[in-house]
């Protein structure tokens, strides 16, 4: 009995140490974002002697964060809407009509989960389609990247929606579009939320696509402008911290609100083998 | 026939076109461009046979080093994330019981952060003179362990690996927790009756039954690590020297310097290698759903 209590105590201690290791870097960013330049120079754990909330307004104007924030929201939500909708439509037909060809097509699409990008020929594609250096181009690129996993996730969930529902809807005179948008899509809500949250987080964090394909600072998302800001203001850790904080706060917020969906999404397929 | 009307093919087209245009066509076209002198500065493209691959595999160039760094990064992050992820998963399921979800939430938190932001934070933490890590070590009387983490070419790659593990371990832990929860309790009860200790239960029951989950996390780590870019680029940009350069940082360099043929050849090696991997991924994912 005693040994068991010690085990539980030991486990709690280890878990708390692990959590501290995970949280300390975040804590450092928060406290240093409110310090003066001199106090933040060593990024210490000390609390700020005086609160310098003006760091945030400085960063917003110096780093032009208003536009970047708007761009990030636009890219993340635009790509999420397109990616999730297209993935759901494709998964629906591939899952319901399992012809030999459709099975093959399904495998072909989910193989995209593994495939790496070729940024040179992708540049060529972006030039030919006149999408390079455009906001729409980045949205489509990010959406394309989300599709293989989205199709995989939604395809698995569709098995839980009975086909009799389709039969009944068709009897009532539904066409394919009506069947999908009015009957199937609402039933897919849990998996759509999961896919959308994962896509949104991924798109918000994406750095490499804008790095290659957006050379105009006015269309940069947060990730690119925080990196650029760091290059210019390396010595001002208070400002860099404030910028980092504003970059990560939206994803942390989404994470806290949608934890349940994130966890269900990443464990799907992983443990059912 | 009825099926075709009910489930029309045009539903697939949106996803299929985006996938073909932005992933498959560039990937396959890239293989063809690998045999050319494609450059960012000229418009003519000439066939030059295997020259790009000869350059990549030449001992006088650094490409073999980039490949080796990528493999080192991949191998060590797989081992570290799986081992630490499993340890954390065991602590949270077997050890602490009730408030485990709170611990899990905090340990998973870094996973959702942009790798770029993580890298910038750690550039401060790993600063040799003023960084949090060395300061803390000195304060604890462990100053002898303090290192020039990202500056010393002998350890920079391991520092990058450490930061990446810090960020990614929560992801692996969550998948392994789900795996652990699928192990039937009766096995443990039977083992306990037989007097099996912790290690005997771990190696006799937990690990064998967790194999599918462990294979999945290994594949996920592998797919991520071979393509790693953000964290390396923002922590060290491949430096000091070429000590931490991986495939994708070298690709970005080739891109910036206009060596597009060479860069395409290097990318295509990874594309072909990961297409083969992709084949196994499909089999793995499909088996997961078949049993569901």
Identify the CA nearest to B7 among candidates A178, A94, A150: A94
Distance between CA A233 and CA B185 in Å, rounded?
A: 55
Q: Number of residue pairs across A and B with CB atoms under 8 Å?
A: 302
pLDDT at B100 over 60: yes
| Average pLDDT value for residue range B102-127 | 92
**Domains recognised in chain B with CATH numbers:** 63-244 (1.10.3720.10)
pLDDT at A273 over 50: no
pLDDT at B247 over 90: yes
Domain ranges of chain A: 65-267
Q: What is the pLDDT of residue B275?
A: 93
pLDDT at B290 over 50: no
Q: What is the pLDDT of residue B274?
A: 94
Q: What is the mean pLDDT of chain A?
A: 89
pLDDT at B95 over 70: yes
Nearest C-alpha in A relative to B122: A25
Provide the pLDDT confidence category of residue B99 given band limits of 50, 70 and 90. Answer: low
Q: What digits encode the pLDDT tens for the residues B180-216?
A: 887 787 887 777 777 777 788 888 888 888 888 888 8
Distance between CA A68 and CA A222 in Å, rounded?
A: 5
Interface test with A, best of B22, B67, B180, B289 (most A CBs within 10 A): B22
Q: Nearest C-alpha of chain A: how many angstroms from B222? A: 10
pLDDT at B127 over 90: no
Provide the pLDDT confidence category of residue A94 given band limits of 50, 70 and 90. Answer: very high
Write down the H helix ranges in chain B. 2-6, 10-19, 25-33, 51-56, 63-90, 100-112, 115-125, 132-139, 156-181, 185-193, 198-201, 207-226, 230-235, 247-256, 260-291
| B159 burial level (CB within 10 Å; 0-12, 13-18, 19+) | buried
Q: What is the pLDDT of residue B68?
A: 95
Distances (CA, A) of A241 to A27, A232, B231: 10, 13, 17
B229 vs A204, A208, A271: nearest CB: A208
Provide the pLDDT confidence category of residue B25 given band limits of 50, 70 and 90. Answer: very high
Start-to-end CA span in chain B (Å): 29
Q: What is the pLDDT of residue B288?
A: 55
**Cβ distance A42 to B135 under 8 Å?**
yes
Distance between CA B29 and CA B255 in Å, rounded?
A: 16
Q: What digits encode the pLDDT tens for the residues B54-88?
A: 988 988 889 999 999 999 999 999 999 999 999 99
| Average pLDDT value for residue range B214-222 | 90
**Cβ distance A20 to B105 under 8 Å?**
no
| Average pLDDT value for residue range A241-270 | 84
* Inter-chain CB proximity A226 and B217 less than 8 Å: no
Residues on chain B touching A155 (C-beta within 8 angstroms): 289
Provide the pLDDT confidence category of residue B117 given band limits of 50, 70 and 90. Answer: very high
Interface test with B, best of A32, A35, A114, A202 (most B CBs within 10 A): A114
Q: Percentage of chain A with pLDDT > 90?
A: 58
Provide the pLDDT confidence category of residue B292 given band limits of 50, 70 and 90. Answer: very low
Q: What is the pLDDT of residue B41?
A: 82
Q: Nearest C-alpha of chain A: how many angstroms from B59? A: 25
Distances (CA, A) of B237 to A268, B34, B257, B265, B274: 35, 25, 15, 21, 24
Residues on chain B touching A112 (C-beta within 8 angstroms): 19, 23-24, 278
| Average pLDDT value for residue range A27-41 | 86
pLDDT at B291 over 70: no
Q: Percentage of chain B with pLDDT > 70?
A: 96
Concatenated DSSP letters of A119-137: HHHHHHHHHHTT-TT-HHH
Q: Is the dihedral of CA A250, A222, B255, B245 positive or negative?
A: negative
B175 vs A97, A113, A271: nearest CB: A271
Residues constituting chain A = 273
User: Which residues 5-64 of A are in CB contact (within 8 Å) with B?
Assistant: 7-8, 10-12, 14-16, 18-19, 21-26, 28-29, 41-45
CB count in 10 Å sphere of residue B98: 7
Residues on chain A touching B12 (C-beta within 8 angstroms): 89-90, 93-94, 105
Nearest C-alpha in A relative to B216: A270
Name the 3-class secondary structure at A49: coil
pLDDT at B96 over 90: no
Which of A167-181, A196-210, B196-210, B271-285 ranks highest by mean pLDDT?
A196-210
The complex scores an ipTM of 0.89
Q: What is the pLDDT of residue A6?
A: 57
- Give CA angle at A152 (B222, B3), nearest 5°: 150
Provide the pLDDT confidence category of residue B230 given band limits of 50, 70 and 90. Answer: very high
The answer to whether A251 contacts chain B (CB < 8 Å) is yes
CATH 1.10.3720.10 fits A65-267, yes or no: yes
Can you list the pairs that A94-103 forms with residues at least 24 positions away whose Cβ atoms lie under 8 Å?
Answer: A94/A151, A94/A155, A94/B12, A95/A155, A95/A158, A95/A159, A96/A158, A96/A163, A96/A166, A96/B3, A96/B6, A96/B7, A97/B3, A97/B4, A97/B6, A97/B7, A99/B3
CB count in 10 Å sphere of residue B170: 24
Q: Nearest C-alpha of chain B: how many angstroms from A13? A: 9
Among A39-48, A69-78, A129-138, B121-130, name the one with the lowest average pLDDT. A39-48
* Inter-chain CB proximity A227 and B121 less than 8 Å: no
Q: And the tokens for B253? A: 């360099």
Q: What is the mean pLDDT of chain B?
A: 88
pLDDT at A142 over 90: yes
Distance between CA A246 and CA A256 in Å, rounded?
A: 16
* Inter-chain CB proximity B96 and A112 less than 8 Å: no
| Average pLDDT value for residue range B153-167 | 95
């Amino acid at each position: 009995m005693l040994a068991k209590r010690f085990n539980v105590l030991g486990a709690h201690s280890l878990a708390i140490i692990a959590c501290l290791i995970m949280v300390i870097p975040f804590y450092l960013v928060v406290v240093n974002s409110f310090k003066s330049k001199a106090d933040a120079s060593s990024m210490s754990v000390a609390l700020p002697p005086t609160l310098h909330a003006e760091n945030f307004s400085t960063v917003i104007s110096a780093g032009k964060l208003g536009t970047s924030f708007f761009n990030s929201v636009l890219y993340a939500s635009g790509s999420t809407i397109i990616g999730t909708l297209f993935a759901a439509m494709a998964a629906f037909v591939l899952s319901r009509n399992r012809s030999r060809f459709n099975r093959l097509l399904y495998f072909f699409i989910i193989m995209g989960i593994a495939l790496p990008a070729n940024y040179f020929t992708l540049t060529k594609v972006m030039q030919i389609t006149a999408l390079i250096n455009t906001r729409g181009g980045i949205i489509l690129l990010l959406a394309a990247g989300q599709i293989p996993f989205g199709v995989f996730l939604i395809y698995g969930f569709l098995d839980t929606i009975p086909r009799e529902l389709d039969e009944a809807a068709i009897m009532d005179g539904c066409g394919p579009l009506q069947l999908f948008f009015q009957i199937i899509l609402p039933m897919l809500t849990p998996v759509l939320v999961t896919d959308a949250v994962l896509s949104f987080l991924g798109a918000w964090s994406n750095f490499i696509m804008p790095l290659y394909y957006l050379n105009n600072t006015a269309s940069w998302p947060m990730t690119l402008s925080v990196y650029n800001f760091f290059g210019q203001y390396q010595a001002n850790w208070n400002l860099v911290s404030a910028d980092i904080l504003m970059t990560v706060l939206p994803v942390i917020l989404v994470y806290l609100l949608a934890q349940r969906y994130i966890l269900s999404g990443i464990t799907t397929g992983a443990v059912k083998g | 026939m009825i099926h075709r009307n009910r489930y029309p093919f045009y539903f697939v087209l949106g996803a299929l076109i985006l996938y073909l245009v932005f992933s498959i066509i560039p990937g396959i076209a890239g293989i063809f461009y690998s045999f050319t002198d494609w450059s960012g500065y000229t418009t003519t493209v000439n066939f030059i046979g295997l020259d790009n691959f000869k350059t990549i595999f030449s001992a006088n160039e650094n490409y073999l080093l980039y490949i080796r760094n990528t493999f080192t990064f991949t191998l060590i992050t797989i081992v570290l994330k799986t081992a630490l992820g499993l340890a954390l998963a065991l602590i949270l399921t077997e050890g602490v019981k009730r408030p485990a979800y709170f611990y899990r939430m905090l340990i998973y938190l870094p996973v959702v952060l942009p790798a770029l932001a993580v890298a910038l934070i750690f550039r401060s933490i790993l600063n040799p003179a003023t960084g949090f890590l060395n300061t803390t070590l000195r304060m604890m009387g462990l100053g002898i362990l303090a290192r020039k983490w990202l500056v010393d070419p002998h350890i920079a790659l391991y520092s990058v690996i450490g930061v990446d593990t810090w960020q990614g371990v929560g992801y692996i832990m969550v998948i392994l927790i789900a795996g652990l929860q699928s192990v039937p309790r009766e096995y443990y009860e039977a083992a306990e009756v037989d007097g099996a200790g912790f290690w005997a239960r771990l190696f006799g029951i937990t690990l064998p039954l967790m194999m599918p989950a462990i294979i999945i996390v290994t594949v996920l780590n592998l797919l991520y690590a071979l393509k790693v870019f953000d964290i390396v680029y923002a922590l060290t940009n491949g430096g000091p020297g070429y000590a931490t350069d991986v495939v994708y940082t070298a690709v970005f360099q080739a891109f910036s310097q206009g060596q597009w043929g060479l860069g395409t050849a290097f990318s295509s090696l990874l594309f072909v290698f990961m297409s083969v991997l992709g084949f196994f991924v499909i089999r793995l994912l499909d088996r997961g759903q078949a049993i569901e």
